[in-house]
Structure 1
Amino acid sequence: MMTKILILESATNDLNFICFELDRSGFNYTTINIKLIDEFENAVHNYNPDIILSGYSLMNDNGQEVLKICDRCYPLIPLILIADHIEIENCVALIKNGVSDIILKQNIASLGQKISTTLKTTRADTLPNQCEENLNDKSIYRSLIENSEDAILLTEKDGKILEANNSACQIFKMTEEEFYIFGRFSLVDHNDPSLLALIEERNLTGVAKDELTFNRKDGSSFTGEITSVVFKDIWGHEMTSIKIKDLTQYKKAEKQLAKTAAELQETVNSLNKIMNASMDLIFSVDADKKIVQINSACNSTTGYETQELVGKSYIDFIHNEDKEIIFNADQNVRNGNPIKTFEARVIHKNGTTIYILLSAQWDEDDKLIYCTAKDITEKTKLEKAYKVERERFLDLYNLAPACMGLLKGPNHIHELTNSLYLKFINKKDVIGKSILEVMPEMEDQGIIGLLDSVYNTGVPFIANEMLIQLDSNNNGLLVQTYMNFIYQAHRKSDGKIDGIFVFAIDVTEQVLSRIKIEESEKMYRQLISELPVAAYSCDADGKISFFNKAAAILWDTEPKIGEDSFCGFSKMLDEDGQTIPLHLSPMAISLNEGRIVSGRSGTVERASGERRYVLPHVVPYIDSSGKVTGAVNVVTDITEIKVAQIALELRNSELAFQNQEKEKRAAELSIANKELAYQNKEKENRANELVIANQELAFQNDEKEKRAKELILINIELHKSNKELDRFVYSISHDLRSPLTSVQGLVSIIEEESEEPSTLKHVEMIKNSINRLDEFVKKILIYSRNDRTDLELEIIPVKKTILNIIASLQNMKQAKDIHFEIEVQELSPFCTDKLRFNTIVENLISNAIKYHKPRSSDRFIKVKAVAHKEMMQLEIVDNGIGIPLMYKEKIFDMFFRISSKSEGSGIGLYIVKDTIEKLEGSIKVISQKQAGTTFEINLKNYKKC
């Protein structure tokens, strides 16, 4: 009779193991196996099995659901468990829950007999309401105990042994009676340190498990695994079930297994090393096109690690344009047609494209495609690069901005030329003609000899700006041409020379331009050298790179070019006479900070020891990257001007003292007049003293005449001194302005004749310095004129005068985009000195323009004036950079400048205040930094003009 068996698989080897044992015993059966619990109920219903076999591992989770289904729907179908090992308490629990029998794998040979025995009984005998009775049946326990290969002992708790199975007798080499006699304590090595802990755990929890050393009857010992469980029998007596597994063979098997595993692992490792040592990809693909195994070359080829590819469809990594081709190739291989070489593109992990050369073969037994793939990306790229470079070469040859040609044979026959070559020689149809046929003028210039030398020796000839004469107009007239060219030997594949490659560039324009530039540079240097103003330049390290004659004269020495640093003066001194280090000189500051240093005069000492006053103007050279590459310094000797200023200040002090003396004498004369009046009054009251009074009066009159004569002499002397000072100032200014006019002429010549940016830049710096010095001389003249000349009063049109001044100042480069607002009320004719009035307004408005904000969109200057009978109120307002509060009291001092970067000479506002005082007026300044400045002026209206 055929037995239908339903097998619940816990692993594939369980099914093979069960079928092998049933076949070996000759058991007549058919099987159906399932893996998922969801399939169990349908399988039982459709297959109607005689018995169900299940692995014990399924009982942990899904097995409990199987028991419930069997108990609820199929109580008559027996269920047998097959286990590697099972605890006695678990065995009891499973039988209580409906398991018909439990077979250990060690006793799998009895599986056929167990199935037959089980089928003879009915499922009804194991229904839940009879479980307790059957479990009390000793025969059931006997069956469980006898089927176990482990020693099982049933004892009273901490008492004598009641039962021992056959396995226990075999393991301990005792009979069952000997177990009863010797007792359980003789079985254990009492020196085992784990014994007391085991007993303590069992007493505490009722269950204990550990490894102990056991003694056999023959005196030998072995290591065993003991499981001790305390339970009560049906009469309530405490009993102990003890299961002892002999681990001797297990330990041996464990060692052997470890050894075998190590050997197997070594073999696998060797195989993996061989696979991983391959630079090519080696992999296998299953029927679902998923990667089963792949070597470590996948990382270097595709960027993926092995674990990232195993289990993934290889199609996902193929380039989209190649997927259809790969799909067809895959089908072809699975049909038994292996591929030896096949190119495809794979997507690298970083997104780039990888080219591979693939071979593939189908294995029918394993149902796998075994593949190898070689990375040919570099080869493919090289092939493409070669093709691209070849096309580039042809483009370069035909479109290159140079003459290119190939001359073949000892007669130098034209074999290949580009269009620029033909254009340069102005010839056509030169292919197949020799160089002499095309350009016969080359023979007398030695060109043919050069070609012969390269052809015979293979040594290339390189010419740089070589002068060649060509009949480029085909009229017999030779044109001078400068050429850069190379004659390079052309070799055949065997290395023999068969021609000459020509590469030439016409550099005539560059050569002629350089010659012209050199001539201009020479002229520029010559002009700078002849300038009467000292000028020199330094490189980025401060080493002097150039100086003119005026600089050498001013220094009284000639420094060494490229060696001496910053300047040629022996010393530079500050206001206190202390030496300024060279690294703090104006040139050093400009080089270090990359800014213009100007307007800061100082004292220097020449090589001879003489000290001079100079005014430097340093401008740095800054390249396109913003790096300072050097600087130029124009140094003006202002010693004479400084001496004149000092003399002028001394003379002013003397005049002030003389004025004080005149005032003192006038006061004395006033007192004398008062005294005379008093005496006249007393004369009426004291007639008797008239004679005496008359004599006293005569005496006083004599004294007054003497004093008047002295005053006249002083005035004459003062007038003479003023005239002499005027002549001195005029002479000084004339002597200074004459060379300035000459320099301006030279600069204009340079500016007109030169187009070099660097030359024009230097010319602009020189012009700025000359203009500053000229302005300074003019202001000295204004100051002298203001101080020495009398008022020339006239009625002036106030609004028209102000408008004319603004119109003249709007040519200043800083005046661009400044909005002027003029508001004038002439309530009464205004009478004053017109020249001095112009000086005041012009200075204040020009200062407002110079010191305005450079990049503001709402810049303005407001001029308000109201002329009354007694005076005129004038107000000039701007929203420029303003004046710091700390400098408001000093701005009217002579030569005071807020910053070394200021463009002015520091005398303008001093002249303004001095002029206002001459006109019997007053000035007040209101200013806030970065907000603007307001000047409020009150001027006397001289009614009688």
Structure 2
Amino acid sequence: MTKILILECPTIDINFIFRELDRDGFNYTAKNIKLLNHFENGLSNYNPDIIFSGYSLLGNNGKEALKISRNWYSSTPLILIADHIEVENCIELIKKGVSDIILRQNISSLTQKISKALTKTATVNFNIFSNQEEKYLKEKAKYSSLTENSRDAIFLTLKDGPILEANPAACQIFKMTEEEIYKTGRLGLVDPNDPYLPVLIEERDLRGLAKGELNFKRKDGTSFPGEITTVVFKDVWGRDMTSITIKDLTEYKKDQQELAASNILMQESLNGLNKIMDSSLDLICSIDEEKRFVNVSAASKSLWGYEPHELIGEKYIHFIYIEDHKITNNTYEDITNGTPVTIFENRINHKDGSIVNMLWSVQWDDDEKLLYCTIKDISEKKKLKKAYKVERDRFLDMYNLSPACMGILKGPNHIHELTNPLYLKFINKKNVIGKSIIEVLPELKNQGFIKLLDDVYNTGIPFIANEMLVQLDFHGKGLLADRYMNFIYQPHRDAYGKIDGIFVFAIDVTEQLLSRMKIEESEKLYRQLIKELPVAAYSCDVDGKITLFNKAAAILWGREPQIGIDSWCGSWKALSTDGQEIPLEMYPIAVVLREGKTMTGKEIIIERENGDRRYVLPHAVPYIDQSGKVTGAVNLLTDITESKAIQKALEEHNMELSFQNLEKVKRAAELNIANKELAYQNCEKEKRAEELILTNIELLKTNKELDRFVYSISHDLRSPLTSVQGIVSIIEDESEDPATLKHIQMIKNSIERLDEFIKKILSYSQNNRTELDIETISVKKTILNIVDCLQNMKQANGIHFEIDVQELSPFSTDKLRFNTIVENLISNAIKYHKMSGTERFIKVKAIVNEQVLQLEIADNGIGIPLQHQEKIFDMFFRISSKSEGSGIGLYIVKDTIEKLEGSINILSQPKAGTTFKMNLKNFKIC
């Protein structure tokens, strides 16, 4: 049922309105307000759906009602009912918020106008964004409504061009049809001899608008005085247009004469109203043309602190707050010049120095040349209005700028009453106001959310959910997308505390949830990688407590430590290479956690509980968060016990070979002496020769077995490394977590170093196991291919290569062994070159003749100290523990050169560079 509040005035016949509503069967209740002073209370207590007010040229109730309702109930439609209304007043009122204007002659459209206003109010506040076409249609609809209801002639023309539209009143006033008006044109409707016509045209061209009186011609040749208002504007297509309004002043002139006579009677009545003025709580006064007070009521004392006699004869501007002088003077000029400004606000300087907010209701008497004023103190109202605006602005700022989806659902059907921009953006919908949640999001029907809303509406108990799954059809194609939301459904209550809707507050946490799941999955993969690594690995928190270890670590330690209890390392003891026990605070991972720096390359000994010892190379790296704080560390332990055993076995083997060679020479010498001295002892000679052959056979067998052992161990070690490299590559491709990628890179570096060492062991074994495979090769092409490959090394950046090869004769050798020699020497020259500086170079020179290849590889790198130059070809020799290499590369080079019946020499000086000079036999192929 629609609640109607009616502000009575002479224009409104209440029974006439009720009769029209009852005739149409309109469902309503109504309340009448007879005095404007009771209007605010009526609005507050009755809370109407729509307001009716009368409008009269001689009264101000309509405008005052609009002022009150727009300040306090801006969303309630206000319809004015008038016998007659000027177009400019009609336009001004609609701009100020009047929903519609109904002339008494069109009262039959009343119910239709009410329905239209109520529907428009339900949607207009939330249709914020509209394009130019929508704006044009709305403005055109307003314009059409104004022109159809106006009693004044209204024309729409191109500037200085033809008439495009004329309203029905224009046809009545000029006694023409629309076609006749279009044909006659603008200049045919006005008296061309009117002297004020060019003045108005000039004023319009200068200011864009003009207003004045002219003489106009009807179709029958008669003329009439009219007030013309012309405005130049641009339409939505940018064209210059002119709106022309013509008011027939024939009756107005007669009314002016009658009004003058009435003013005389009014003045006489005013003289009798002085007592009434003095009893009024509002200040009533009159002001003459010199802007001085003429009459002042007694209320001046209570409102401004001045007695009436203190104001009479004084200029009113002296009492106006200085910042309001301009607007007050302009308003005075507008009113005295005939512009209908009847109500305005300003501030008064109270006698005690305070500032008072005042509402002026004024009317100019052109005959008496007096301005009659009623002035009301609205200071308290202004304070309340300001406080309301501040709170409202705060709410709107929070509502519109909130990072969460917010909305209000009204009634048991959960109708959208209010939504913020983020709510609409999230559901990818527009124009949801006035629609139920089921209409806007039908996919929620079977997901239980409607029941939740019903429960909150019926019980008043809020509903809260975190990371709740919601499936939404964002594009209306039936494809549901998963979203995870944090919800709050809070009951919304009216002014009487009754639940009338639900306040919805929701945050989309889908990205956070998926990110957390991805991090957890990455962490799971990381832990799986650590557990599957063939290299011992474990991690500790910032306090050194073990948080993770893999199977290889437990095997290395000979025990499984307790997570979160054991600290620093899972071994029984840790020893230095000289056998001294390492204190807990000096364990590699303890040092890393304390100093926040990576620690690698320092060999230690792990002792198990049963006394077994393993030689390991730790590689400990700290976890550092975004703030630079150490939060934990990971340690990789490379077991080098077998490699050290192989090294020791190789050294013992070399010593045995040397001893056997000496024995062999000794025996040969003894045999030679025996042959000379005991030539006749052939049997003994043959026996000793046989023993020597057997010894050589046994030696060869031992060498082959040792080679097979080295090859088998190296080959078996490479297989799991290849598998680990594959796992690491998969995780590196799938993960985006910086910490995980950092640890993956550490693992890859360790694997690459171990793989390089194994390759060199295999190369050494292959050199000893296989026979020479002689073929003719291109020395220059081979060297260039090797250099091209090695230039991809990270350390090769900025090094200049010079290749000078003179092939005077074809060169035949074992290609694989030749590549091994050149590749090892050039890669070493790159690795141990100076890290910076200009003119960094590596020079390769070669001369091939029929007997030999003379090869020289020189660089200007860091050089080799003299005391180390005799040892660099020894197996596993490294200049320092910080060296990247395994110490076997140059040993392989020398061993391979000797296999090719060649020689190698070194010339080096620290910080100046190193030169390797070689001679390799040319195995000529016949």
TM range, smaller chain: 0.5 to 0.7
Alignment counterpart, residue 532 of structure 1, candidates 528, 531, 534: 534
Distance 1:872 1:452, change over 3 A: same
Q: CA deviation at 1:401?
A: 4.8
- The residue identity in structure 1 corresponding to 2:633 is A
CA contact (8 A) 2:534 2:552 kept: yes
Match of 2:680 among 698, 701, 708: 698
1:515 deviates by 3.6
Give CA-to-partner distance per residue, 1:814-854, whole Å, 9 cap, x none.
33443211112345555655444332221111112223344
Q: Equivalent residue of 2:581, what SS?
A: coil
Evaluate the alpha carbon distance shift between residue 513 and residue 666 of structure 1 in structure 2; reply closer, same or farther with a 3 A threshold. Answer: same
Partner residue in 1 for 2:554? 552
Aligned to 1:487: 489
Instruction: Say whether residues 1:928 and 2:901 are aligned partners.
Output: no
Q: Secondary structure at the match of 1:666?
A: helix
The structure-2 alpha-carbon separation of the partners of 1:360 and 1:940, relative to structure 1 and needing over 3 Å to count, comes to farther
Deviation at 1:505, TM superposition (A): 2.3
Q: Deviations over 1:293-352 (max 9, x none)?
A: xxxxxxxxxxxxxxxxxxxxxxxxxxxxxxxxxxxxxxxxxxxx99998899xxxxxxxx
Is the 1:826–1:868 Cα contact (8 Å) retained in structure 2? yes
Change (3 A) 1:418 1:801: same
- Distance between the aligned counterparts of 1:343 and 1:890, measured in 2? 98
Q: Distance in 2 between matches of 1:443 and 1:787?
A: 80
| Maintained 8 Å contact 2:866/2:908 | no
Distance in 1, Cα, partners of 2:652 & 2:510: 67
Q: Is the 8 A contact 1:754 1:760 kept in 2?
A: yes
- The residue identity in structure 1 corresponding to 2:606 is V
Task: Report the residue type matching 1:810 in the other structure.
Answer: Q
> In structure 2, how many angstroms separate the alpha carbons of the residues matched to 1:710 and 1:480?
86
Change (3 A) 1:666 1:835: farther
Is 1:877 matched with 2:879?
no
Shift of 1:469: 4.2
Q: Which runs of 5+ in 2 are unaligned?
A: 1-316, 325-348, 354-384
Aligned mates of 2:636, 2:600 — CA distance in 1: 10
Is the CA contact (8 Å cut-off) linking 1:927 and 1:934 kept in structure 2?
Answer: no
Matches within 5 A, 1:794-805: 796-805=777-786
Q: CA deviation at 1:474?
A: 5.0
Match of 1:468 among 453, 467, 470: 470
CA distance in 2, matches of 1:661, 1:527: 54
Give the secondary structure class of the aligned counterpart of 2:680. Answer: helix
Tell me by how many angstroms 1:658 deviates. 0.5
Whole-angstrom distance in 2 between the partners of 1:757 and 1:564: 28
Contact kept? 1:540, 1:591, Cα under 8 Å: yes
Q: In structure 2, which of residues 741, 753, 759 is the aligned counterpart of residue 778 of structure 1?
A: 759
Mapped contact 2:557–2:606 kept (Cα < 8 A): no
**TM-fit CA distance, 1:667:** 3.1
Count of aligned positions: 556
Aligned sequence identity (%):
72
Structure 1 position 609 matched with structure 2 position 611? yes
Give 1 or 2 for the bigger CA radius of gyration. 1
Letter in 1 for 2:632: G
Q: Indicate yes or no: 2:770 matched with 1:768.
A: no
2:668 counterpart residue number: 666
- Give the alignment's TM-score, normalised by structure 2: 0.52
User: Which amino acid in structure 2 is aligned with residue 420 of structure 1?
Assistant: L
**Among 521, 524, 530, which residue is 1:522 paired with?**
524
* Matches for 1:625-774 after TM superposition, within 5 Å: 625-671=627-673, 697-699=679-681, 701-751=682-732, 754=735, 756-774=737-755
What is the distance in 1 between the residues matched to 2:856 and 2:591?
A: 40
Aligned equivalents of 1:887, 1:388: Cα separation in 2: 85
Residue 277 of structure 1 corresponds to none
- 1:837 corresponds to which residue? 818
- Counterparts of residues 74-113 of structure 1 (less than 5 Å): none
- Mark the CA change 1:875 to 1:662 in structure 2 (over 3 Å): closer, same or farther: same
Asked if the contact 2:647/2:876 (under 8 Å) is kept, the reply is: no
Counterparts in 2 of 1:595 and 1:819: CA distance versus 1, 3 Å:
farther
* Separation (CA, whole Å) in 2 of partners of 1:429 and 1:786: 83
Q: 2:844 & 2:560 partners in 1: Cα distance?
A: 53
The one of 565, 568, 572 equivalent to 1:566 is: 568
Matched, 1:861 2:842: yes
Counterpart AA for 2:557:
W
Match of 2:833 in 1: 852
Where do 1:230-249 residues align within 5 Å? none
Following superposition, the deviation at residue 493 of structure 1 comes to: 8.1
When the two structures are superposed, what TM-score results if normalisation uses the length of structure 1?
Answer: 0.51
Can you list the C-alpha shifts for 1:490-522, whole angstroms capped at 9, x where unaligned? 577898876543222233344345445544543
> What SS class does the counterpart of residue 821 from structure 1 fall into?
strand
Instruction: Say whether the 8 Å CA contact 2:715–2:762 is kept in structure 1.
Output: no
| 1:273-672 equivalences in 2 (<5 Å) | 394=396, 397-398=399-400, 400-408=402-410, 412-435=414-437, 438-439=440-441, 447=449, 450-451=452-453, 461-470=463-472, 472=474, 474=476, 480-488=482-490, 500-671=502-673
Give the distance between the partners of 2:734 and 2:663, measured in 1 at CA.
61
Q: Please give the alpha-carbon distance, in whole angstroms, between the structure 2 residues aligned to 1:635 and 1:393.
A: 61
Per-residue CA deviations over 1:395-430 (Å, capped at 9, x if unaligned) read: 664465532213356765432112332343454443
1:806 Cα deviation after fit: 1.7
Letter in 1 for 2:765: S
Query: What letter matches 1:526 in structure 2?
Result: Q
**Aligned equivalents of 2:430 and 2:321: distance in 1?**
52
Partner deviation per Cα, 1:259-311 (whole Å, 9 max, x = no partner):
xxxxxxxxxxxxxxxxxxxxxxxxxxxxxxxxxxxxxxxxxxxxxxxxxxxxx
Could you tell me whether the CA contact under 8 Å between 1:597 and 1:901 is conserved in 2?
no
Q: 1:450 and 1:726 mapped to 2: Cα distance?
A: 78
The answer as to whether partners of 1:821 and 1:863 remain within 8 angstroms in 2 is yes
Tell me which amino acid in the other structure corresponds to 1:649: E
**Partners of 2:405 and 2:420 within 8 A in 1:** yes
CA distance in structure 1 between the aligned counterparts of 2:769 and 2:445, rounded to whole angstroms: 86
Structure 2: how far apart are the matches of 1:582 and 1:489?
62
Displacement of 1:941? 5.6
- CA 1:448–1:789 in structure 2 vs 1: closer, same or farther (change >3 Å)? closer
In the alignment, residue 506 of structure 1 is paired with which amino acid?
D
Say if 1:882 and 1:539 are closer, same or farther in 2 by CA, change over 3 A. farther
Matched position secondary structure for 1:847: helix
Q: After superposition, what is the alpha-carbon deviation per residue over 1:752-807, rounded to whole angstroms, capped at 9, x for unaligned? A: 55555544444433333233222212212222344565666665533223223223
Change in 2 beyond 3 A, CA 1:443/1:824:
closer
Deviation at 1:652, TM superposition (A): 1.9
Distance in 2 between the 1:790 and 1:448 partners?
85
More off after superposition, 729-738 vs 390-399? 390-399
Distance 1:786 1:909 in 2: 13
The SS at the match of 1:698 is coil
Q: Secondary structure at the match of 1:661?
A: helix
Structure 2 counterpart SS, 1:705:
helix
The separation in 2 between residues aligned to 1:889 and 1:493, in whole angstroms, is 99
Cα offset for 1:602?
Answer: 3.6
| Amino acid corresponding to residue 468 of structure 1 in structure 2 | V
Instruction: For residue 614 of structure 1, report the CA deviation from its aligned partner.
Output: 2.8
CA distance in 2 between partners of 1:477 and 1:920 (Å): 77
2:788 paired with 1:807? yes
Cα deviation code 1:894-919 (max 9, x no counterpart): 22334444332121122223334553
Flag the 1:575–1:480 CA change in 2: closer, same or farther, 3 A: closer
The answer to whether the 8 A contact 1:601-1:616 is kept is: yes
Deviations 1:469-495 (A, max 9, x none): 445555777654321233345577898
Distance 1:385 1:744 in 2: 70
- Structure 1 767/795 Cα, relative in aligned 2: closer, same or farther at 3 Å? same
Moved more, 648-657 or 442-451: 442-451
Q: Read off the aligned partner of 1:737 and give its amino acid letter.
A: R
Change (3 A) 1:495 1:847: farther
Q: Deviations over 1:851-890 (max 9, x none)?
A: 3344556543221223466654433223444445664454
